[in-house]
Structures are given as C-alpha cells and as structure tokens.
Chains A and B, each alone.
Chain A
Amino acid sequence: MGFEAIAPFLILFIGIFAAYFACRVGAKRDNPYIGGYVTAAFFAITLYSVYLLWIQRDLFPIEFGLIEGLTHLRVDALSLLLAFVVLTMGFLVSIYSIKYMDRDTRLEVYYPLLLSLAAGSIGIGFAADMFSLYVFFELMAISSYVLVAFRVRQRETVEAGFKYIILSGIGSLIAIFGISIVFAQTGGQLDFVIVREALAGLTGASLYAAYVAVFMIIIGFGVKVSIVPLHTWLPDAYPAAPVAITAMLAIKPGLVALIKCISVFPPEQIPYGLILAIFAVITMFTANFMALMQRNLKRLLAYSSIAHAGYMLLGIGLGLQYGVLIGLTGGLFHIMTHAFMKGLAFLCAGAIIYTLAKKIGERKSADLDEIRGIGHYMPITCLSLSITGLALSGAPPLSGFMSEWLIFRAGLEVMPVIGAWGLFFASAAILNSFLSLGYYLPLIRTLFLTPTEEKKFEGIREVSGVILIPILIMVAITVLLGIFPQMGLEIAHPAAEMLYEISGGGR
C-alpha cells in the first residue's frame, strides 16, 4: 500500500538522469534546448502523479515506509500544497529556462539539479519523521548551493554563493542539533506523530531541553526562511543566482520544514507561535525599510521576499499559538500566492536582463536607472511585472491581497485572547502592506519613464514566446487566485485544518 506516495520521487529521480543525458546529447548536436524540454516533461508527469494522490485525499494520510520503522513518507494536505506549488513552478521555470539559459554552458548540471532541488523541496512536505525531513532538506540545500553559484565566472556570484553556503551550513548544523535533542528526549523516536505524543506534558529538565530544541529548530530552519537577523545571505544570493533558480527558492520550502518540526511541541507550554509572530513583525519592518531605497531590481525583489516570509510566519505563528484556523489558512495560502507572485516578478526581471544582455553583450544585474523606460519596448513583460508588483503590495483584486487579508483577520481574531496585541499584529501587517507600495510604485513608474538616453534601447523587442508563456500563465494564476481564491484554498484550507487539529486547535 501507499506505493503511489513515492511515485513523484521515482519520476523525478529518473528525470535527473534523463535530463543529464538529454543535455549531453543536446550539447553534442549543438542544441541547447532539448534538456529544458525533457525537464519540463518530467515536471509535468510528476505533477500528474501528485494529482493522482490528490484525488485520493479521502484516504489521507497515505503512508509509505522506505525503511520500516525508521524512515517513511506520509502524504497529507500540507505535503500536496507544497508539492503542487513546487512542481507547477518547476514546470514553468524549466520552460522558461529553455530560452533563458541558452547562452550558458554546463546545462547537464543545471537541469538535473533543478529536478533534485524540486525533489528535496517536495520531500520536506512528504517526510513523516524528522530524519527524512532533514535528509530532504539537505538535498534541497545542496542542490541550491550549486545552483546559486551556477555562473561561477562572475565574482559576485562566487561571493554570494560562499556566503550562502556558510550561513546555510550553520543553519543546518543548528537544526540537526535541535533535532538530536528531540531524538534524545523521545528515546530514539523521530516520527512526528510519536514525537508529538512523547513531548506532551513536559516538566522540569526535559521542558528546558525542549526549549533549547525549539530555539535551535527556529534558528536553524530560520536561516532558510530568512527570518531577520538571519536573512543576510538572501539579498546577495537571490540576485546572484539565475532568476529561474531564484523563483524556485522563493517558494520557501524551509518554512514548511520549520512548521512541521516545530508543531510537535506543545504550544501551551512553549510559546513558539508567539515567538514566530514577533520575529515576523521584526522581519517585515526591517526588510520593507531596507527595500525602500533599493536601486537594484533583483535586490529589491529579494528584500521583498524577506518581508513576505514575515507575513507567512505571522499567520502561521498566531495560528499555531492560539489555534486560529484563519491564520494557518492565510499563512499557508500566502506560501502559494507568494510563490507565484514572486516567481513571476523574478522571471520578468530575468526577461528584462536577458534582453538587455543580448544587446550589451554581458549579463548585468538590472539597476533601476539602467532599465528606466524599458516598458516602452517590452510592454508585456513590464506590464506583468507591474501587475505582480501591485499584487505583492497587497492590492485587490490580485492574489496577494486575498492571502494577506486572511492574515490581517488572524491578528484581529486573537484579540479576545491577547487583547491589543492582536491589533498590534494586524496593524503591523497592514502597515507593511502599504509600506511595500513605497518601492513597488516607483518601480512601476521607472519602467515606463522616458529612457535616460535617446535611442538607448534601440532595437530591443519583446522577449520570445518561450519566455513569455510561463510569465503569462503566472499572471493568469495571480489574477485568478485573487478573484477566485477558493481555487487555491481548496488545497490550502485542508492543510490548515490538519495543522489546526494537530496543534490542538480551538483552545
């Protein structure tokens, strides 16, 4: 039973080899596109296999033991939420990469690593115990180390990649330390269900040990989630990586790892939800203020994704601490909407840089002054970027508003429990949503201003269809999730309900 639970991984595993050979064949025949097609096909098949799991959702959780009693997979709504987002993004990103990466070499490394990055990310959702979760987490992390520093010829890339490895490595170490404390406390059990039972009703020294474990898990995984002050790698790493990879990283599977590991502790004894919520407020304000004066397009988007991690943490933190279903729904839905919005933003930025690089001859990261007025030459890309900018700043009727609105509501719904603090959390989120307009509006304006020099962009035309198709699909997703949020909540809501139940909801 439960063999279908491992099917996505097997398909991706085969895909890694297939993509490698396809790229080698492509390199021989001087055809850089073939690897991208194969990768996209494997993403599509995996997506279908996940869909097959989804239609059996009445049977959840579906279990599959890899090594009986030690590591196994468990499919539930949360796993599928992450898997759908990751695989859809992976599919779109690999189509995008076909053209976007056509001037790079070593594609036979790029596409297999993209697939293993996706496998690691969805594995975090599927893992049933902390050990397999950590393995998948590292699979994702190591793939991303290589992919962030993929363009090793550039100095900034190497520096950013180095910084990323160091900080992320420290994070992983701290996280496994935290997990090992749990391991010791439960007497060698790491399955989430068993751990949750073992940790209920802690007293004395074991409670203090649990505190230490919680701290380490929050900080360890928090590096990947980019909680301020652990975010410092992100503004360097996101712009340095190829945008297709940045779009994949913006999904923040690390957050799901954090949620899964931390929700095993009893929230009434250890206020980890509240800790996350407070970190969320710090994160949102710091990142938004830093983004305000940012003049580099990709760095601006990078700061913004730190801020958005804050929204997710706020909703989920309040939800876990006080059993607020709407907070969990909002936080998880925001993972989905943010992945598409921010992915779209990065893909648009990448399209602009790609087009400019073709003209100038080298790849430059886009300074806002550099791209001023490019909207007149690339209207579709820049319009898409404007739409996602508005969506990210929480303007209805786009998807960002819908998920942020649920998070605002979460802040207000805890008001009966914690009084004015609930209002504080809600207004912090609202304020940040309006604050982010402070950099998205100037961005939109810059795109459509007159260029600094006459004829600067002479000869620049809209990017080719292969790049535009993923962009337009994501625009459609962003608009549709805003008008009909039910489409996304169909998955996010059961996942939230599941978390709600295991965190002893409705206290």
Chain B
Amino acid sequence: MTEKIEAGKENQNLETDPAGVIGITLACILFVVALASIVYAGFAHNVPLPAVLAVLAITVPFIAMLLVPLAALSGSGARAWFATIFGGFSTAALTISLLPYALAARYPADVLFELEWIPAVDVKFGLFLDTLGVTVAIIGGLVGALALLYSTRFMEREEGLTRYYCIMLLFIGGMIGFGLSDNLIALYFFWEILGLCSFALIGFWFKDQISAKAGMKAFVVTRFGDIGLLVGLLALFVGYGTLSIQAITAAVMVEGIILTGILMLAGGCFILAAAGKSAQVPLHVWLPDAMEGPTTVSALIHAACMVNAGIYLIARTTPIFVDVPHWQTAILMIGATTALLAAILATVEVDFKRVIAYCTISQLGYMMAALGLVGGLLAGTYHLMNHSMFKALMFLCAGSVIYALGGTVHKHANMHKIRGIASIKQMPITNITFLIGLLALIGLPPFGGFWSKEMILATAALGNGSSIELIAFGVLAGTAVLTVVYSARMYYYVFMGEPAVKAKESPAVITIPLIILAAATTVSWLYIDAFTKSMHALLPEFIPHISIPGLIHKTFIYEAFISPIIIATVICLLSGYLVFTIRERIYAMVPALLKEIIARKYGFDDLYKGVFVKAYFSWSGSFRKLQTGDLNYNVMGVVLAFVIITIMTVALIRGGI
C-alpha cells in the first residue's frame, strides 16, 4: 500500500512541475516525428509494408535510446516508462506484427527484401522475414519489453539508469536486427552490438572491480568467436561473391558442395563463432561470470537473447554446411559435451544465479547438439524458443527473490543462506511461476520444454542410428538426469521449507512479467504447427510439417508404444529424483580428485590464465624493447628501409613478381 502511495506522489510531482514535463513531451514528439519520417521515407521509395515494419522494429529501439536522455530530464519515472512503453512495448508490437506476414508468405520469394545501404561498394541491407527470424525477433522484442517493465521497479534505486536504459534499448534493437537481417555483414554488425551491450551491462556496476572484470572477460572471450564469424563470412564472400545468406544457400542447394575448402573453413569458423556467443565448451567460461550484471540483464541477454545468437547462426546456415564432412558431428560433440559438463557444475554450485547460468549453458548445449543431429534442425530451433521463455522466466524469478532480499545489491545469493525465502507462503506468485519454469526445464508435459526436449532425445535415438548419435543420446539422457537433480536442489533450497529470511511478495510490476512468461511457457509449444508449416515451405528437406495432434500422437502414442523413448524419459526423471534424495551419499563416494577437478571447473580458467595471458604479457613486454630513443639508431632506420626495399624488390623480380 505504501508503495502505491509513493508511486502516486512521484506522478503528482511530475505533473505539477512544468519544467519536468518538457523533457518527456519533447521526447514523445521527437519519437513520433522520427517514426513518421521513416514511414514516409519508406513509402516514398516504394518499400513494401513488411519491410517498412521490419525497419521500424529495428530502428524504434535505437530512436528511443537516443531520446531516453531527453526523457530523463523529467525524472527517473518518466525515463523508465518512456523506455518501457516507447522503446519496449512498441517494439514488441512491431515484431509481432511481422508474424502474420511471415506465416502467410509464399516462400522464399516473398520474404527477402533488399534495401540500399552502401551503394558505393554494392552492399545491400537484406531483410529476411521468415518465421524463424521473426520468431527470434519476437523473443527479443517481447522479453525485452518485459525486462524493461520489470526494471522500472527492480532497478529504481540504482544510479546511472540513463545509461542502463540506453544500452538495454540498444541491445533490443541489435537483437531484432540480428534476427531479421540476411546480409552477413549486417549480421556481423548486430552481432557486435550484442557483444558490446553485453560487455557494458555485465559491467553495469563498473565501480565494482569484479563486475568490470567480468564484463571484460565476456567481451574478450566472445571476441574470439567474433574472429570466427568475420573470417567465415569473408571466406563465403570469396567463394560465392555475395554476402546474402539466402543467395549462398540457393547456390549450395543447386550446385552442391563444390567449394569444399571454403565451406569447411567457413563452417569451422561459424562453429567457433557460435561457441563464443552461445557459451559452448571451451569458450563457455564467460557466462557464469556474466551473472555479475543486474538480473534483468541476465534474463534478457544471458538467457533469452544473445546466447541464442550462436545457435541461431548455426541454424540459419545449416542448409549451407550440412553436407560438409564432419561439420554436424563436430557440432554434436561440442553440444553434448557442453550439456554434460555444465550440468555437473550446476549440481555443485551454491550461488542461486550461477546455478541458473550453468543450467543455461547446459540447455544451450542441448540445442547445439540437436543441430548436430541428422534432421535435428527443427528440434534445435524448437527448443530455442521454448527455452527462451522458461529461462527468462527463471531469471526474472531469481530477480524477484533478490528484490525481496533487499534489492539489487544482493546479486550473489547463497542458496544455503536464503533457505526457503520464496516459499509458497511468503512469495506465492514467484514460487509458482518459478515452479512452472522448472517443470518446463525438467521436461514435464504440458510445458514447452517437455516437447522440444523430447524431440531432441527422440531425434538422437531414432535418427540414423550411427554410433555417435547413440552416444550423444546417452550423454543427453544423462544430462537430463542431472537437470532434475539441480532443479530439485534449487527448488528445495530456495522455495521450500521454513523461511530463514523474512520476505514479502514483489510488487505487481515485477510479478506481471512473471505471470506473462509463465503463461508463455505453458503454451509456447502450440506454436509448432504454424512454425513448421511455414518453415516446411522454405526448407522442405530439413523441417517436416508437424501439427499439434500429430505432435501429441508422435510423443505419446508412437514413442510410448513403438519405440521406448518416453519410457527412457520417465526413467531419467525418476532416477534424477532418486539421485537428488541420496545426493549426500553419492557426494561422499566421489573420489577427491574428481571433486578437485569440478571445484576448479575443469581448469579452463587456469589454463587460459596460466598459458595464454602469461604468454601474451611476456611476448609484448619483450617486443617493447625494440624502440629506443637514440636518434643515431633511429636514423639507421632509413638505411634499414633501403636495405629492406632493395631485398624485397630483388626477391619480387626473381620470383616473377
């Protein structure tokens, strides 16, 4: 009740202060003017309506970002709500407005729009509005809007919120652009925007050394992946003379794998890129540390959006690389390894948010593995959408718990210390919505995660039956057991039992996004009919059309009676619960060496620090000595240059230039 009164007071202040209203009014007017001018420019150049809408969806967050500082003149409330409504919800609406078009379009002719960008070097900005891309954009817009709404309360006590909202909006725009662009160079553009925003938001509390360091780590590690994307796209450009993914796909589909070398190079580079962005082994080390950022950032960037970028890149380019030898196998191995290793770490981690982070890595490993299976494109992308919903939900629930603990300062919540804080009596909404997310994660019907996870396991077990896929099935099933273990552990510690800390339910602005996401988690699987129908038209060889009754039939009748996948799942769930109940006894049995290895997180961090960072410093330190200040030596440089140029020319002439 007091909160409401306070909020009311703030609004009153806003209305009564004439100077305060100017900023927000001006921001709104400029926003509308900018929008109108884009629409006008679009129609003046005869750009079709869907392309105009797509351009708007990409640019609206950017425009809102530029106007946030103006709106901030009217106080922090105006700033937050301007960002949420104009930047967040209008963008979400625009992305959703693309969906009917994408579902109904004739493929692939209708969905590719090429806009002029850099005519001097003949580069066009391609928009590809197919269902997969639009879905990724919708996830960006929708989760972004909800995260912004959530931030209005969650972040209210922070400083530097103009920066926060600007970067959040920049991120949302980047994610939508990433989903919708077809041109590889534009894709790289948005990909880097995502990385920069992630860097800036992880280090949001940059006065805190650990936060700043974590941001830097994330940026450097993902940057290794970026080299992959840049080299890969340049290789494809050399081979095919175009930067359009669709044009390259069409060329590969027609002529097959002719340019094997280029495709192998590009395919390998893209795997590297995906591993960096989507936190796959061995480049996964940045994601747990990324939890130093605000929880809204974790939910938006490190659960629902940016970490999907790598998976999306692989899914998008699967038709190009699928026949490249060993490409899919490599993806499968990386994905399965990641899923298992991260799940093991999740079972021993005690920090609430970091458990969810390891869980995210593990689930991303699932998606990656699915893309590596023969015929697994649908399973992987389907899991991507479901996972975005329930993982964003789980992170926002964690945020709600943190809010109840006293606010954003408690970003590290030791699960043993906050026992039972979100029990059903204290925080009913948070508790139930988190449970829904958890059940989706474990894979219980009817929640979204169940269907896609089941599909992944079934594809692995019933695919081409090669030994590598069967091994992968074993690993993924084992991971499913561990998933149950750490999920149960989380729920057991934080959401059950007598509360160790007194707390009350978070305010409505925080719980409403939770409820919306919980609802989405429950129904997101129904999307499969529309999704596969339109994607089947685009990629008939990769994606079959599955209707909802068909999915139910396949999962419950076929897999239950003909092939025993569902039984395997049930066994996984039960044994997972069993392992959870006897976890202490199992832990006692684990040899000390293994414990040490797990405690060191398999030693990846030590390896990077001990070898690469050290080598880097010693090498650059010794190179520095070459520069002397002595003028006599410096003049010798001119002589040296003559020597070099003569030798070089002689060599070139001898070598026939």
A34 CB to nearest chain B CB (Å): 33
Complex Cα gap A289–B640 (Å): 20
Q: Does A227 contact B (CB under 8 A)?
A: yes
A25–B568 Cα gap in the complex (Å)? 92
Contact B638 A396 (CB under 8 A): no
Return 13 A-B CB contacts under 8 Å, by A number. A167-B635, A170-B635, A218-B645, A219-B638, A230-B641, A290-B627, A396-B188, A397-B193, A437-B223, A438-B620, A441-B219, A448-B203, A490-B120
User: Per-position contact with B for A278-295: 1 when CB-CB < 8 Å, else 0?
Assistant: 110010001001101110
A359 to B592, CA, bound (A): 58
Q: Mark A136-177, 1 if CB is under 8 A from B, else 0.
A: 000000000000000000000001001100110011001000
Whether the Cβ atoms of B645 and A329 lie closer than 8 Å is: no
A109 CB–B CB distance under 8 Å:
no
Enumerate A438-495 residues with CB–CB distance to B below 8 Å: 438, 441, 445, 448-450, 485-486, 489-490, 492-493
The interface residues of chain B, by DSSP majority, are classed as helix
Instruction: Evaluate contact between B120 and A486: CB separation under 8 angstroms.
Output: yes
Decide if A271 is an interface residue (CB 8 Å cutoff): yes
- What are the interface flags for B596-638 relative to A under an 8 Å C-beta threshold, 1 for contact and 0 otherwise? 0000000000000000000011011101101101010111011
3 pairs of A and B residues whose beta carbons are closest in the complex: A292-B620, A232-B634, A489-B120
Residues of A at the B interface (CB closer than 8 Å) are 159, 162-163, 166-167, 170-171, 174, 211, 215, 218-219, 222-223, 227, 229-233, 235-236, 271, 274-275, 278-279, 282, 286, 289-290, 292-294, 326, 329, 375-376, 390, 395-397, 401-402, 405-406, 408-409, 412-413, 415, 426-427, 430, 434, 437-438, 441, 445, 448-450, 485-486, 489-490, 492-493
Q: Complex: how many Å from CA A450 to CA B633?
A: 40
Q: A215-B645, A406-B121, A427-B231 are in contact. Are A397 and B629 (CB under 8 A)?
A: no
Residue of B nearest to A268 (CB): B657
Shortest Cβ distance from A485 into B: residue? B118
Q: Are B237 and A412 in contact (CB under 8 A)?
A: yes
User: Per-residue 0/1 for B256-270: is the Cβ within 8 Å of any A Cβ (1 yes, 0 no)?
Assistant: 000000000000000
Q: Would you list which residues of chain B between 229 and 258 have a CB under 8 Å from chain A?
A: 230-231, 234, 237-238
Is there a chain A Cβ closer than 8 Å to B107's Cβ?
no
State which of B234, B627, B633, B634 has its C-beta within 8 Å of the C-beta of A409: B234
Question: Which single member of A167, A286, A390 contacts B626 (CB below 8 Å)?
Answer: A286
CB within 8 Å for A232 and B234 given contacts A329-B120, A448-B206: no
Interface residue B530 (Cβ < 8 Å from any Cβ of A):
no
Write out the residue numbers on chain B whose beta carbons fall within 8 Å of the beta carbon of A408.
230, 234
Q: A397-B189, A441-B219 are in contact. Are A409 and B118 (CB under 8 A)?
A: no
Chain A CB count within 10 A is highest, among B209, B231, B640, B646, for: B231
What residues of B have a CB within 8 angstroms of the CB of A166 in the complex? 631, 635
- Contacting residues, chain A, for B638 (C-beta < 8 A): 167, 170-171, 174, 219, 223, 230
Contact A229 B637 (CB under 8 A): yes
Is B637's CB under 8 angstroms from A230's CB? yes
- Please tell me which one of the listed residues A174, A222, A405, A448 contacts residue B212 in the complex, with CB atoms under 8 A apart: A448
Decide: B118 and A233 in contact? CB cutoff 8 A.
no
Q: Which chain A positions have C-beta within 8 A of B230?
A: 408, 430
Contacts of A413 in B (CB 8 A): 238
Contact B646 A289 (CB under 8 A): no
Q: Which residues of B contact A211 (CB under 8 A)?
A: 649
B49 at the interface (CB under 8 A from A): no
Pairwise interchain contact A289-B117, C-beta atoms closer than 8 A: no
Q: Chain A's nearest CB lies how many Å from the CB of B205?
A: 11
B48 within 8 A of A: no
Question: Is B516 an interface residue when CB atoms closer than 8 A count as contact?
Answer: no
Cβ-defined contact, A445 with B216, below 8 A: yes
The smallest beta-carbon distance between A309 and chain B, in angstroms, is 14
Residues on B with beta carbons closer than 8 Å to the beta carbon of A426: 234
Q: Of B227, B627, B645, B649, which one neighbours A235 at CB under 8 angstroms?
A: B627
Partner of A450 from B209, B227, B616, B627 at Cβ < 8 Å: B209
A380 to chain B: closest CB distance in Å? 11
Residues of B within 8 A of A279 (CB): 644-645
Q: Which residues of A contact B234 (CB under 8 A)?
A: 408-409, 412, 426, 430
Q: Could you list 6 further interchain pairs (A-B, Cβ under 8 angstroms) beyond the known A232-B633, A233-B634, A415-B238?
A: A232-B634, A289-B619, A395-B196, A412-B237, A486-B119, A493-B120
How many residues on chain B are close to A (CB under 8 Å)?
54
Chain B residues lying within 8 Å of A441, measured Cβ to Cβ, are 216, 219-220
Residues of A within 8 A of B646 (CB): 215
Chain A residue contacts of B634, Cβ below 8 A: 163, 167, 232-233
The yes or no answer to B192 lying at the interface (CB within 8 A) is yes
The reply to whether the CB of B393 lies closer than 8 angstroms to some CB of chain A is no
Does B616 lie within 8 Å of A438, measured CB to CB? yes
Closest B residue by C-beta to A386 = B200
- A317 and B654 CA atoms in complex are apart in Å by 20
Binary A-proximity of B198-235 (CB < 8 A = 1, otherwise 0)? 00000100110100100010011001001100110010
Q: B624 touching A409 by the CB < 8 A rule? A: no
Asked whether B500 is an interface residue with its Cβ less than 8 Å from the other chain, the reply is: no
A485 to B626, CA, bound (A): 37
Q: Which residues of B contact A490 (CB under 8 A)?
A: 120
A162: chain B residues within 8 A (beta carbon)? 631
The answer to the question of B642 belonging to the interface, with a C-beta cut-off of 8 Å to chain A, is yes
Which of B120, B238, B626 is packed against the most chain A CB atoms within 10 Å?
Answer: B120
Contact B621 A215 (CB under 8 A): no
Measured CA separation A99–B117 after assembly (Å): 39
A76 to B624, CA, bound (A): 42
- Taking CB atoms, residues of chain A closer than 8 Å to B620 are 289, 292-293, 438
Shortest CB-to-CB span from B167 to chain A, Å, is: 12
Nearest A residue to B230 via CB reads: A430
- In angstroms, Cα B626 to Cα A229, docked, is 11
Partner pick for B624 among A170, A294, A405, CB 8 A cutoff: A294
Give chain B nearest CB distance to A7 CB in angstroms.
Answer: 28
Interfacial residues of chain B within 117-141, with CB under 8 A of chain A in the complex: 117-121
Q: Is B652 an interface residue (CB 8 A)?
A: yes
- The interface residues of chain B lying within 8 Å CB-to-CB of A449 are 209, 212
Q: Which residues of A contact B118 (CB under 8 A)?
A: 402, 485-486, 489
Instruction: State the CA gap A223–B212 with chains docked (Å).
Output: 40
A489 to B123, CA, bound (A): 12
Q: Which of B196, B212, B238 is close to A445, meaning CB atoms less than 8 Å apart?
A: B212
Q: Is B648 an interface residue (CB 8 A)?
A: yes
A222→B192 CA distance, assembly (Å): 35
Q: Which residues on the B side are within 8 Å of A438 (C-beta)?
A: 616, 620
> Which residues in window 55-107 of B have CB below 8 A to A?
none
Whether B641 and A229, one on each chain, are in contact in the complex, defined by CB atoms closer than 8 angstroms, is yes
Across the interface, do A271 and B649 meet the contact criterion of CB distance under 8 Å?
A: yes
- Does B185 belong to the interface (CB within 8 Å)? yes
Nearest chain A CB to B87's CB is how many angstroms away? 18
Query: Are B652 and A486 in contact (CB-based, < 8 A)?
Result: no
Contacts of B238 on A, CB cut-off 8 Å?
Answer: 412-413, 415
Contacts of A326 in B (CB 8 A): 121
Q: Separation in Å of the A271 CB from the closest CB of chain B?
A: 5
Task: Report if A434-B223 is in contact (Cβ < 8 Å); known contacts: A227-B641, A293-B621, A390-B196.
Answer: yes
Bound CA–CA A235/B223 (angstroms): 29
